[in-house]
């Protein structure tokens, strides 16, 4: 069954049809949530909240691209989660004990040694830390553009921000990421170490 | 200029250039600058490396299934059921309903009071068509006047004088905008026992001269019918000279003084206190009345009931309005309390 039929069935209360959409998009949704929140449990909570909200808001879906519509809800759920964490700072300490989520192994088919694997994990964590250091509004844009590789107009659609705001926030986020990654130069692959020389 | 000292605008252009989001003119302008400015080229290389590094981040696998539990969520409910299930919406509806109910109640009460005033005016104008009826039917009655003015029932008050005065004063008071109670009291008088008409002692009638009073009564009735209250008052003064009895004195004082509406109420029963009216006058007064009776019948029997009907219909409508408001208020308060309880539980 194609996506439109699943959406149509879910709109009429078919929760199984909606769950098939969930299975299709849950990795993307969770990835965005994790990159924005930077912590596995919070990302899982935000993702779950987003799917529940999407199910009950299906009447508002206007036939646009479903993934964009879903990620808009995920982004809002992430904002809610971040606000919740700022109100309860102690809960953010839980994230230090969490292990970073497993990457999708299908995207890394090349075999690597345990040392290489550890270095790669360390690099990912360093990049994630730089993302986490960004202000929330800049981080959301950076994740949507540089992680999910959305076009600017899609970002406008997802966030509801003007195009100029998206551009300026993205350029500031990239400048900060550049400066941050210079600090972890020793973790970067050799081709990237050249960029500050 | 170093890559770190680029302006925000240049950084924005480079960022958009990397993503292919510049239009043709901006892109050609930037490319010409890139060809001549080394720091700009360096900045572009750094940005490109940063973006590629971030894009190295892997797509993550969801740690668990986020599929919704059919038992917990089931079928999606229609929007109106979701609205009803929302405590906040119910509270808002209750508050709005209460406000509307209060407006209904206040509006109904205001309309009722306005109608009452309007009905008074209508009945007042209707009563203006009843002077002869008052004069005619008032004759049999005597007790109310006595009870109000403490007249002695067996007084030697000259009936021929009292009767025309009653008619004149009644008309005058009606012209002044007298109270509606005139009509009511006239009706009471009409329903009184005809036998209450007391035959005057012959001596009394002779003493005060019934004969001069007859043309006066007829003339006053005619003047009054033409709407000349001042002349009626003058006639009252003339009568007073002829009959210096206590009761005519009182009537003359009332006629001379511009009487407020409440005074008119007093005067009408005075007219009804004509127990000693002699037979000749009694035959004259109905005659004078009979000449005007067709018009009076139309106005008295047609306008007054119609006005009362309109007033009754209006009252019923306003009562329904107030009742509706009270019911709405009760329902709205219940809705508000229910919504508040629901919201607290949520």
Sketch the domain layout of chain A as residue ranges.
1-87, 113-197
Distance in angstroms between the alpha carbons of the first and the last residue of chain B: 60
Of the candidates A34, A145, A178, the beta carbon closest to that of B60 is on: A34
Residue B300 has pLDDT above 50, yes or no: yes
Fold adopted by A113-197 = Arc Repressor Mutant, subunit A (1.10.10)
Residue of A100, A167, A173 to mutate for B, most B C-beta atoms under 10 A: A167
Name the residue with higher pLDDT: B91 or A1.
B91
Instruction: Tell me whether B62 touches chain A (CB under 8 Å).
Output: yes
Residue labelled with tokens 């038992």: B71
Test B62 with A30 for CB contact under 8 angstroms: yes
Strand, coil or helix: what is B60? Answer: strand
Residue B207 has pLDDT above 50, yes or no: no
Locate B91 and state its tokens.
């509270």
Distance in angstroms between the alpha carbons of the first and the last residue of chain A: 53
Around Cβ B216, how many Cβ atoms within 10 Å?
21
**Structure confidence by residue, pLDDT tens digits, A158-185:** 888 999 999 999 999 999 999 999 887 7
Query: What pLDDT was estimated at residue B145?
Result: 42
Of the candidates A35, A40, A146, the beta carbon closest to that of B51 is on: A146
Strand, coil or helix: what is A24? Answer: helix
Residue labelled with tokens 């879906």: A61
CA–CA dist A21, B299 (Å, integer): 83
Q: Following DSSP, what letter does each residue of B217-284 receive, concatenated?
A: HHHHHHHHHTT-HHHHHHHHHHHHHH---HHHHHHHHHHHS---HHHHHHHHHHHH--TT--HHHHHH
pLDDT mean across residues, chain B:
63
Lowest mean pLDDT among A99-113, B97-111, B328-342: A99-113
Of the candidates A12, A128, A174, the beta carbon closest to that of B47 is on: A174
| B38 CA: distance to closest CA in chain A (Å) | 14
The dihedral sign for the CA sequence A77, A78, A79, A81: positive
Please name which of B101, B103, B95, B104 lies closest in space to residue B337, comparing C-alpha atoms: B95
Test B11 with A15 for CB contact under 8 angstroms: no
Burial class (CB in 10 A: 0-12, 13-18, 19+), A75: buried
Chain A residues whose CB is inside 8 A of the B22 CB are none
What is the pLDDT confidence band of residue B96, given thresholds at 50, 70 and 90?
A: very high
Strand, coil or helix: what is B335? Answer: helix
Lowest mean pLDDT among B10-14, B28-32, B79-83, B106-110: B79-83
Query: What pLDDT was estimated at residue B127?
Result: 55
Which residues 83-102 of chain A have a CB within 8 Å of chain B?
Answer: 101-102
CA–CA dist B84, B80 (Å, integer): 6
CA dihedral A111, A116, A119, A123 (to 10 degrees): -40
Q: Which CATH code of 3.30.2350.10, 3.40.50.2300, 3.90.1010.10, 1.10.1740.10 fits the domain covering A1-87?
A: 1.10.1740.10
**Structure confidence by residue, pLDDT tens digits, B224-281:** 444 444 444 444 444 444 444 444 444 444 444 444 444 344 444 444 444 444 444 4
Q: How many helices (H) and strands (E) does chain A have?
A: 10, 0
CA–CA dist A193, A33 (Å, integer): 29
CA–CA dist A193, B18 (Å, integer): 20
Question: What Rg value do the Cα atoms of chain A yield, rounded?
Answer: 18
Residue B139 has pLDDT above 70, yes or no: no
Query: What pLDDT was estimated at residue A74?
Result: 96
Report whether B7 contacts A172 (CB < 8 A). no
* pTM greater than 0.90: no
Test A145 with B12 for CB contact under 8 angstroms: no
Test B61 with A108 for CB contact under 8 angstroms: no
Chain A residues whose CB is inside 8 A of the B67 CB are 19, 22-23, 26, 51
CA–CA dist A76, B273 (Å, integer): 91
Provide φ and ψ at A88, rounded to 5°: -125, 80
**Structure confidence by residue, pLDDT tens digits, B44-81:** 999 999 999 999 899 899 999 999 988 877 666 666 66
Name the residue with higher pLDDT: B331 or B137.
B331
Test A123 with B56 for CB contact under 8 angstroms: yes
Query: What pLDDT was estimated at residue A114?
Result: 84
Query: What pLDDT was estimated at residue B268?
Result: 41
Name the residue with higher pLDDT: B295 or B16.
B16
Query: What pLDDT was estimated at residue A107?
Result: 53
Those residues whose C-beta lies under 8 Å from the C-beta of residue B213, and which sit 6 or more positions away, are B158, B160, B161, B164, B239, B242, B281
Instruction: Tell me whether B2 touches chain A (CB under 8 Å).
Output: no
pLDDT lower than 50: segments of chain A: 92-97, 197
Strand, coil or helix: what is B5? Answer: helix
| pLDDT above 90: percentage of residues in chain B | 21
The dihedral sign for the CA sequence A81, A83, A87, A89: positive
Element (H, E) at A197: none
Q: Which residues on adjacent β-strands are paired with residue B60?
A: A103
Element (H, E) at A43: helix A40-56
Strand, coil or helix: what is A103? Answer: strand
Name the residue with higher pLDDT: B233 or B102.
B102
Locate B175 and state its tokens.
């012209």
Minimum CA–CA partner of A164 in chain B: B12
Test A101 with B15 for CB contact under 8 angstroms: no
Burial class (CB in 10 A: 0-12, 13-18, 19+), A119: middle
Report whether A39 contacts A101 (CB < 8 A). no
Around Cβ A24, how many Cβ atoms within 10 Å?
15
Lowest mean pLDDT among B84-93, B101-110, B215-224: B215-224
CA–CA dist B21, A68 (Å, integer): 19
Report whether B138 contacts B182 (CB < 8 A). no
Burial class (CB in 10 A: 0-12, 13-18, 19+), B285: buried
């Amino acid at each position: 069954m194609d996506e439109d039929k699943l959406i149509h069935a879910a709109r009429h209360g078919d929760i199984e049809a909606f769950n098939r959409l969930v299975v299709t998009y849950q990795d993307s949704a969770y990835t965005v949530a994790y990159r924005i929140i930077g912590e596995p449990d919070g990302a899982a909570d935000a993702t779950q909240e987003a799917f529940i909200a999407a199910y009950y808001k299906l009447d508002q879906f206007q036939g646009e691209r479903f993934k964009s519509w879903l990620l808009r809800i995920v982004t809002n759920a992430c904002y809610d989660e971040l606000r919740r964490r700022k109100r309860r700072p102690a809960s953010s300490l839980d994230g230090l004990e969490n292990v970073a989520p497993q990457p999708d192994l299908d995207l890394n088919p090349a075999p690597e040694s345990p040392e290489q694997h550890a270095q790669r994990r360390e690099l990912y964590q360093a990049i994630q830390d730089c993302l986490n250091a960004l202000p929330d509004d800049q981080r959301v844009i950076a994740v949507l553009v540089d992680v999910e590789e959305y076009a600017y107009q899609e970002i406008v659609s997802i966030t509801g921000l003007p195009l100029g705001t998206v551009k300026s926030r993205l350029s500031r986020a990239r400048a900060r990421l550049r400066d941050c990654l210079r600090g972890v130069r020793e973790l970067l692959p050799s081709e990237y170490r050249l960029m500050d020389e | 200029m170093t890559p770190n000292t680029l302006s925000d605008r240049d950084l924005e252009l480079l960022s958009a250039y990397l993503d292919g989001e510049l239009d043709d003119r901006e892109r050609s302008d930037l490319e010409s600058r890139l060809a001549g400015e080394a720091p700009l080229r360096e900045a572009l290389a750094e940005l490109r490396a940063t973006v590629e590094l971030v894009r190295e981040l892997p797509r993550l696998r969801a740690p668990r299934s986020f599929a919704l539990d059919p038992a917990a969520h089931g079928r999606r409910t229609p929007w109106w059921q979701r609205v009803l299930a929302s405590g906040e919406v119910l509270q808002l509806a209750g508050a709005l309903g209460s406000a509307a109910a209060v407006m209904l109640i206040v509006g109904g009460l205001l309309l009722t009071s306005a109608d009452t005033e309007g009905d008074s005016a209508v009945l007042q104008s209707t009563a203006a068509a009843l002077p002869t009826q008052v004069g005619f039917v008032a004759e049999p009655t005597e007790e109310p006047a006595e009870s109000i003015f403490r007249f002695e029932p067996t007084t030697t008050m000259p009936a021929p004088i009292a009767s025309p005065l009653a008619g004149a004063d009644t008309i005058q008071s009606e012209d002044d905008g007298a109270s509606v109670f005139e009509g009511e009291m006239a009706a009471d008088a009409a329903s009184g026992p005809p036998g209450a008409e007391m035959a005057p002692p012959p001596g009394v009638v002779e003493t005060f001269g019934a004969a001069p009073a007859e043309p006066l009564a007829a003339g006053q009735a005619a003047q009054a019918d033409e709407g000349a209250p001042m002349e009626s008052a003058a006639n009252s003064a003339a009568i007073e000279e002829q009959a210096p009895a206590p009761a005519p004195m009182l009537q003359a004082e009332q006629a001379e003084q511009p009487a407020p509406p409440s005074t008119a109420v007093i005067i009408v029963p005075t007219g009804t206190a004509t127990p000693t009216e002699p037979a000749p006058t009694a035959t004259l007064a109905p005659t004078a009345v009979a000449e005007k009776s067709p018009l009076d019948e139309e106005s008295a029997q047609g306008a007054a009931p119609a006005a009362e009907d309109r007033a009754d219909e209006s009252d019923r409508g306003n009562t329904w309005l107030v009742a509706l408001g009270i019911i709405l208020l009760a329902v709205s308060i219940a809705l508000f309390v229910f919504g508040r309880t629901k919201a607290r539980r949520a």
